[in-house]
Structure 1
Amino acid sequence: MKRELLRINHLSDRYNRTRKLENVSLCILEGECVGFLGLTYSGKDLLVDLLTGKIAEGNGKKDIYLGGIQVKDWKELNGYIYRIHVENYQIDDWTVAEYLGLVESGGWGGLLRRGRLEEEAQRDFQELDLDFDVSCKIKHLTELEKRILDLAKAYRRGARIVVIEDEFDGMSRKDIEIFARSMHRIIVGRMGVIVSSHSNLILSLLSDKYIIFRKGRIVKKCQRDYIKSEEQLELYLLGGDTLSGRTENDGEKTRKGNVIYCVSNLEIKNGRKENLAFIRGEVVTLIALDRRVKEKVFMALSGRRSYEDAYYILNGNYYATMDCYELVKERVVSISALGSKEEIFEGMSVEENLMIPSLEKISSLDYIKAQKGIRKMTRANMLGSLETMKAGSLRIHELIQLTLERWLIFNPKVLILLEPFALCDVKDVGVVKNYIKKFQEKGTTVIIVNTRDEYIEDISDRTINIE
């Protein structure tokens, strides 16, 4: 019989007007991986922040038990929670042993300490049946090895619960499946796992069970296999009979006309070069597992960085180089962080954000001419009720719509999106897809630069694996 690791009874908490928990009760058992699902502000992120200590203290009533013993406060509980996140690997010059021990080595004392750390690390790996070179630098590990190493670190620190807040950037589906098998083997009899991810793929591959949140409450607890379809999942996430916008794949779309935009002779990796050409009105997804390759392709396509020997073809004209300002004048625009405040002016209203060019990239004359149309558009959709609100106070799904609406009004020839679903919950995925279709209907070429093909199967005319 599995032991109980974490129990929360009737937790109610309120952080602000949009983030709250109401009468939340759950239990995590040893060897169990539980996926937290929910829309933005559903309560799941607030609970994860409380568990991991990102929010210092909740202000509501709590009844929490760790291993059957009542926990007095969140700080005490935080000491038994380990968080796996891509930020963990920023100090990549440490060795595996140093990373497990979280110390820097220097001088004779450092050498002695390093030797002891390596011995302790080797014992930990033997207990977990893992094969690691304790003297290897973190930067030389694969993305898969880094995540498995983090599980060993959680074990070394005496963690009872591991919280995975990671989109597994740079990892293929096969790698994630290997991690899932390793994770389940390592945590048996030792730890429990909570997965909080924006990716349905990651949640489905890692989780044994789901806990689904809506409006601060838990609305469903079930085995993963109980959820048979995305439509069934959305009914729990959204409530009622409402489903997000979705259209069936119309099959292979007919692409007409010549190439509208091309970046040629771009070195991708290890001297290999690519010619990336795009047809008017098509949706193309570029898949790159390697984070550096993905960012390089986006930077080159968007003109945010120039690369030696690469050149551009736009509307039949050749350019030795193009920066983002020149590209925007030719109506080639890009979004690097859809749903974040980086894409808007926080101190301005929704309407002003729609009318004022981002970072002065767009001619103000275009916006002056379009003002009446913009006001009409804001009142025709959900942004209409928010037109006088400061953009900095918008929630993530409102920021997503504001950013896409601005560029839709601009009517670009080419729209380039970097990981557009990274901050999306299931409802926002449908919103982004619908906007992409709107852009395509207006003749815009949409280029998506992604790590995986998740969410894009039914909207892409072409998928290109860059590596």
Structure 2
Amino acid sequence: MTTYSSILSLRGIQKSYGPVKVLHGIDFDVRPGEVVALLGENGAGKSTLSNIISGTVQPSAGDMTWLGAAYAPATPRAAMDSGVGMIHQELKLLPKLSIAENIFLGRYPMKGGRIDRRAMEERARAGLHRLGLDISPDRLVEGLSTGRQQLIEIAKALTLNARLLILDEPTAALGGDETQLLFQQIQRLKLEGVGIVYISHRLEEIRLIADRIVVMRDGAKVKEFANGDVPVRTIVEAMVGRPLERMFPALPAAADEVTLEVRDLTSPSNSFRNISFTVRKGEIFGIAGLMGAGRTELVRAITGADPISAGEVLLHGKPVTPRSPIDAIRNGIVLVPEDRKLQGVVLDHSIAENIAYANLGRISRKGWISSRRLRQFADEYIRRFGVKGRGEQKAGELSGGNQQKVVLAKWLARKPRVVVLDEPTRGIDVGARSSIYDLIIDLAREGVAVVVVSSDLEEVLGVSSRIMVMAQGKQAGILDRKDANDVSVMELATI
């Protein structure tokens, strides 16, 4: 069997869209059995480079070799047939198909001219088992959590028997246990000689998984580290091109007045039970826990998106338990959801339209909206929230960080009393994260009660005055900032 110093080699790769050059002569190699972390802010060129490798985008110049031979995949299928598998950050599963059907979509095992469903489900079950997923492969994807869907995407790639895997933010929707399962699988793949390109904004995990680090900025490769044991600060400064100041701003002091109170809240499905807490005016209240702990279900219920079977929600001491999102919004409680692309913005509509949708009453006159008023209103909040885009630009053309700013602008224009943020920086680069944290702190300074749900332990510790930890749908405890650290939170999360 022939061995190669590199599975994949790229030399002088360029990509232009008209006069705009987005990649500038990239040299990039992946060797058998190594994990190369590909890092950079949103817009650095990581996705474009990955899409070129996986056959989705064609380079404007440069050469690629695969296992020593010329490589120029014209389609993703051609790349897949060569042995390249890519797991996208944005989930691409079909909700009305089963897990097994999604895993083998386009390449169903056949027997006698028909799909061999037994073989398909057995192979799917084996892939799920490798990732610690005890779930039937014949159940529909519809209704599964974002984290479980992410693991199914990974199981799908593992069934390809690929020689190279590109993992784009694979842990963004995963909890601690699921992340460890993924890392264990990556170690097995390395032993089998599989090369892995690992893209992530969770920089602390890079030193756990990466053998080498490549940093991109503004379409160029600006730094390469020979191993993964590099201080996070050093990586971030290479990404942003400047010295990094403190990531988390100082927290303002909260008032004594209680804005939001949750009493004995319970869901009909038992995904959370007997949850009680308060959030004061100007306080940032964090909610932590492993995937499946019930965090998202809880905040969706508080904001009227999911039903409640028992308990109540109070605002300034008055019962306001919402029965719908409209109820919550009218009472000044808004949710910035976990999945901004599916639930936060309308991707095919403009930034201005997205901001306007939650504020039609403020910009309409006798039921009519003039384009001038719409533009003026949107431009004010685009400027106020630092959205890098024009009002007429489609929201789908923005980076993840700027889409999140549009969602925040849409709701904060209503001057809410309670803002609930579910995974506020999921899939967002370090530079954009810092600006999101500034916005959260500004909300608290203005006297808004803020609730932050995050799977990123460093994040929830960094922005919260107090942290409620959930485990298996129960309230495991509430920690003051001075008592909260990664150990104390994880001890409660694993009760």
**TM-score band (shorter)?**
0.7 to 0.9
- The alpha-carbon deviation at position 169 of structure 1 amounts to 5.7
Cα 1:115/1:409, change in 2 over 3 Å: closer
- What residue number does 2:280 align with? 279
Tell which deviates more after alignment, 439-448 or 175-184: 175-184
Tell which deviates more after alignment, 390-399 or 146-155: 146-155
Q: Check the 8 A contact 2:363/2:377 in 1, yes or no.
A: no
Cα 1:11/1:433, change in 2 over 3 Å: same
% same residue: 16
Cα 1:283/1:167, change in 2 over 3 Å: farther
Cα 1:347/1:19, change in 2 over 3 Å: farther
- What residue number does 1:188 align with? 191
Cα 1:438/1:344, change in 2 over 3 Å: farther
- The alpha-carbon deviation at position 444 of structure 1 amounts to 0.5
Q: Check the 8 A contact 2:271/2:297 in 1, yes or no.
A: no
TM norm structure 1:
0.78
| Amino acid paired to 1:326 | D
- The alpha-carbon deviation at position 225 of structure 1 amounts to 3.9
- What residue number does 2:216 align with? 213
Cα distance per residue 1:207-261 (max 9 Å; x no partner): 221111111111111134452133x22221111x3536634556x9565223534
- The alpha-carbon deviation at position 417 of structure 1 amounts to 1.1
| Amino acid paired to 2:196 | V
- What residue number does 2:306 align with? 305
Aligned-partner Cα distance in 1 for 2:67–2:210: 21
Q: Check the 8 A contact 1:244/1:431 in 2, yes or no.
A: no
- The alpha-carbon deviation at position 304 of structure 1 amounts to 2.0
Q: Check the 8 A contact 2:263/2:274 in 1, yes or no.
A: no
- What residue number does 1:62 align with? 62
Q: Check the 8 A contact 2:45/2:218 in 1, yes or no.
A: yes
Where do residues 422-437 of structure 1 align in structure 2 (5 Å cutoff)? Answer: 422-437=426-441
Local SS of the residue matching 1:30: coil
Cα 1:442/1:91, change in 2 over 3 Å: same
Cα 1:437/1:399, change in 2 over 3 Å: same
| Amino acid paired to 2:225 | C
Local SS of the residue matching 2:7: strand
Local SS of the residue matching 1:237: helix
- What residue number does 2:335 align with? 334
Q: Check the 8 A contact 1:333/1:414 in 2, yes or no.
A: yes
- What residue number does 1:463 align with? 467
- What residue number does 1:163 align with? 166
Matching residue within 38, 41, 45 for 2:40 = 38
Cα 1:318/1:115, change in 2 over 3 Å: closer
Matching residue within 197, 200, 209 for 2:203 = 200
The unaligned stretches of length 5 or more in structure 2 are 472-495
- What residue number does 1:418 align with? 422
- The alpha-carbon deviation at position 131 of structure 1 amounts to 10
Cα 1:145/1:174, change in 2 over 3 Å: same
The unaligned stretches of length 5 or more in structure 1 are none
Cα 1:464/1:157, change in 2 over 3 Å: same
Local SS of the residue matching 2:43: coil
Q: Check the 8 A contact 2:359/2:410 in 1, yes or no.
A: no
Aligned-partner Cα distance in 2 for 1:428–1:78: 33
- The alpha-carbon deviation at position 448 of structure 1 amounts to 1.4
The RMSD of aligned alpha carbons is 4.6
Aligned-partner Cα distance in 2 for 1:17–1:204: 38
Q: Check the 8 A contact 2:168/2:199 in 1, yes or no.
A: yes
- The alpha-carbon deviation at position 264 of structure 1 amounts to 3.8
Q: Check the 8 A contact 1:280/1:445 in 2, yes or no.
A: yes
Cα 1:146/1:4, change in 2 over 3 Å: farther
Residues matched between the structures, number: 451
- What residue number does 2:489 align with? none
Where do residues 445-460 of structure 1 align in structure 2 (5 Å cutoff)? Answer: 445-460=449-464
Q: Check the 8 A contact 1:346/1:392 in 2, yes or no.
A: yes
More helix as a share of residues? 1
Local SS of the residue matching 1:186: helix
Tell which deviates more after alignment, 333-342 or 416-425: 333-342
- The alpha-carbon deviation at position 167 of structure 1 amounts to 3.9
Cα 1:276/1:340, change in 2 over 3 Å: same
Aligned-partner Cα distance in 2 for 1:89–1:349: 27
| Amino acid paired to 2:302 | L
Cα 1:209/1:174, change in 2 over 3 Å: farther
